[in-house]
Structure 1
Amino acid sequence: MKSETDDLSDVIKLISDIKHKTLLSSHDIALSTEKLLVNLISHGNWSSALDLMELIRRRIKCLSQSLPMEATATNIMRHILKVIREEFEVASKKKGEAHSLHHIVTGALSNILDYSESLTSLKAALLDHLSEYKTELETSAENIAAQASEHIHSNETILTFGSSRTVKMFLKSASKKRTFNVIVVEAAPLYLGHSLAVSLAKSNIQTTVIADSAVFAMMSRVNKVIIGTHTVLANGGLRAISGTHTVGLAAKHYSVPVMVLSHMYKFTPIYLGSNDHDTLNILANPATVIPYSSGAVLNKADIATPMFDYVPPELVTLFITHQGGNSPSYVYRLLSEVYHPDDYEI
């Protein structure tokens, strides 16, 4: 059975779990996607690297059409496409195929590899790589948090926005060696900052909660802004929780550095066009702003509750991943290390 008759029930199940909030965080989505790929490689109907890559591309297309805002799963699949190419190249060399130094240097190697060839060692190599990759996914947040004391110093005031699991771990890690203050912007209307503030306070971190409208007034007292993000776009910009753009603008006005903590699976080769800001957004339930008990008022008012902001790269100072810190201008290089250029658009 070839890929044309491929059963997409696995990716449909993943889409359903994301839509119905069974998988809430990007971390959970990443681990579920890795598990899906393990099952696909182990039990999928493929006999060559070409077949397998086509199976994965079909799943990327299905995900992109159903969940255009969800980049984590498609990013991981794009990364595995690059891994397949690399492992196929290694397996081909072990089989005795010789490639000239000229082809390797000029990058022409991928053009002369026959991905339709069946290599028995490819499956085992891919499963070994995915096992290592799973460990990387599971330890990524800890590796980011381990860098906290390099970026947060004693008696500083840190401002953060909303609630991010990675930011929470980062701040708690820094508190083991440093004494500092944290200002948490509550991020209305969902007030995600409240739970973060409670968690930080329980760890004996001096915490202050402020309303979104107080960001500009408080920014002059801040030494650093540390935030998470939903997606890092190809130009170094962010698709982040609504309200982040305001924080970035206030920080730029006061020359406060903005540090973004992000896992590599949030880096996407997708560019956000000037006309895509609204079409690639999600409007939340208006009841979070005005309750349904308002009755007839809702029939005469448009209540917009966008979930995301686009934050341009010039408002970001530094990205911190498990590999270390990089400026927004270096994102293009990070993308080339994680994805193959042929897989940027699928």
Structure 2
Amino acid sequence: MTHKEDLSDINKLISDIKQKKLITSYEIALKTEEIVEALISKRNWKHADELMDLIKLCIKFCTECLPQEATATNIMRHILKVIREEFEVVSKKKTEIQSLHQLVTANPNDVLDYTTPLKDLKMSLLDHLSEYKVELETSTDNIATQAAEHIHTNEIILTVGKSNLVEKFLKNAAKKRSINVIVLEQAPLYQGHEMAARLAKANIQTTIIPDSAVFAMMSRVNKVIIGTHTVLANGGLRAASGVHSIALAAKRYSVPVMVLSHMYKFSPIYSASHKQEAFNVMASPANVLPYSSGPILNKVQVLNPVFDYVPPELVTLFISHQGGNAPSYVYRLLSELYHQDDYYL
């Protein structure tokens, strides 16, 4: 089996992301899980170590081609941890209850030999991934059902742009609470207009405002509820461009900022503020200054960044399907999602 054959499905995934055939993080997460599940079931790997090396190769390739897209690599990192755990279970190295004597006398230097062939490992992994896929599919609903716990009657909620998760969260809150929503239009794509229309169609009192009015409106807001592209290891965000200014305004008026995020958006990588070319993406300047502007284009450099970095001190709470957690707790969530040996590959 050649490396080219190993990476064919991942190469297709990368191509689909670049060509916008897969747009949302949810679509990317499901597709990645399906690819790895197919790799486990169809490829003729002999032991866990060989399988993990293959997945690590996919992670490295995906990182090189899409350094700003963390969802696919996060899914694969989590599956690496699943392989390690299932290997321990199948090899009977791990018991549900350990005696005090076993805990005291255990040798910390004992290392599992992942090159040991285990005939039941494949079936065990596929069963686990089947459950994991259900978790991915129900994650949005599980987050949305928590809306009534965080939003109270007659509160004014501010959000930005368009997010399917935030939309469902607010609609779920509106079933039990009377709320008002302010939507920032998020120039230059103005996706906030579509978001506002969807909320208004659900009979939610909605107001859309330009991005420049956020500071003036923030004094009237009770909560800021947003989505994010990636949650970084320090509790910071790689969020849509413009979110940083919103978070700063919220901080000035002591308005809590709540971030809705699926667990697969939590990434072990840190902010690379000194390497903005790796952190950010520059979109076409045509959205900011159209080509019809003529000769002026020869004299103006137009930057259209896709992402903002939002430091953890500007975030109040992360809401995932596991509940709410402060930014300082992100390190603990990462240890549950990924094995420390797989943070940097």
Offset, 1:277: 3.5
**CA deviation map 1:53-75 (0-9, x unaligned):** 00000000000000000000000
Give the match for residue 69 of structure 2.
Answer: 70
Alpha-carbon spacing, 1:189–1:95, altered in 2? closer, same or farther (3 Å): closer
Give the match for residue 339 of structure 1.
Answer: 338
Give the match for residue 253 of structure 1.
Answer: 252
Give the match for residue 323 of structure 1.
Answer: 322
Alpha-carbon spacing, 1:95–1:311, altered in 2? closer, same or farther (3 Å): closer
Distance in 2 between the 1:5 and 1:177 partners? 53
Alpha-carbon spacing, 1:61–1:136, altered in 2? closer, same or farther (3 Å): same
Question: Structure 2: which 5+ runs fail to align?
Answer: none
**CA deviation map 1:19-75 (0-9, x unaligned):** 000001000000000100111001123110000000000000000000000000000
What secondary structure is seen at the aligned counterpart in 2 of 1:93?
A: coil
What secondary structure is seen at the aligned counterpart in 2 of 1:319?
A: strand
Give the match for residue 143 of structure 2.
Answer: 144
Q: Does 1:208 align with 2:207?
A: yes
Alpha-carbon spacing, 1:134–1:55, altered in 2? closer, same or farther (3 Å): same
Distance in 2 between the 1:277 and 1:332 partners? 23
Distance in 2 between the 1:166 and 1:217 partners? 26
Matches within 5 A, 1:1-346: 1=1, 7-93=6-92, 111-346=110-345
What secondary structure is seen at the aligned counterpart in 2 of 1:184?
A: strand
Mean alpha-carbon deviation: is it higher for 125-134 or for 100-109?
A: 100-109
Count of aligned residue pairs for this structure pair: 343
Offset, 1:101: 6.7
What fraction of aligned residue pairs are identical, expressed as a percent?
Answer: 67
Offset, 1:162: 1.1
Offset, 1:300: 1.6
Distance in 1 between the 2:109 and 2:248 partners? 44
Alpha-carbon spacing, 1:126–1:107, altered in 2? closer, same or farther (3 Å): farther
**Equivalent AA in structure 1 for residue 196 of structure 2:** A
What secondary structure is seen at the aligned counterpart in 2 of 1:213?
A: helix
RMSD over aligned Cα atoms: 2.0
Alpha-carbon spacing, 1:44–1:106, altered in 2? closer, same or farther (3 Å): farther
Offset, 1:295: 2.4
What secondary structure is seen at the aligned counterpart in 1 of 2:92?
A: helix
Distance in 2 between the 1:128 and 1:109 partners? 30
Mean alpha-carbon deviation: is it higher for 273-282 or for 194-203?
A: 273-282
Offset, 1:299: 1.9
What secondary structure is seen at the aligned counterpart in 2 of 1:226?
A: strand
Question: Structure 1: which 5+ runs fail to align?
Answer: none
**Equivalent AA in structure 2 for residue 82 of structure 1:** K
Alpha-carbon spacing, 1:127–1:68, altered in 2? closer, same or farther (3 Å): same
CA contact (8 A) 1:238 1:310 kept: yes
Distance in 2 between the 1:100 and 1:28 partners? 44
Give TM-score, length-normalised by structure 1. Answer: 0.95
Give TM-score, length-normalised by structure 2. Answer: 0.95
Alpha-carbon spacing, 1:107–1:289, altered in 2? closer, same or farther (3 Å): farther
What secondary structure is seen at the aligned counterpart in 1 of 2:91?
A: helix
Alpha-carbon spacing, 1:110–1:291, altered in 2? closer, same or farther (3 Å): farther
**CA deviation map 1:252-293 (0-9, x unaligned):** 000000000000000000011330345411111111011111
Distance in 1 between the 2:207 and 2:106 partners? 53
Offset, 1:156: 0.4
**Equivalent AA in structure 1 for residue 123 of structure 2:** A
CA contact (8 A) 2:273 2:279 kept: no
CA contact (8 A) 1:103 1:109 kept: no
Offset, 1:110: 8.3
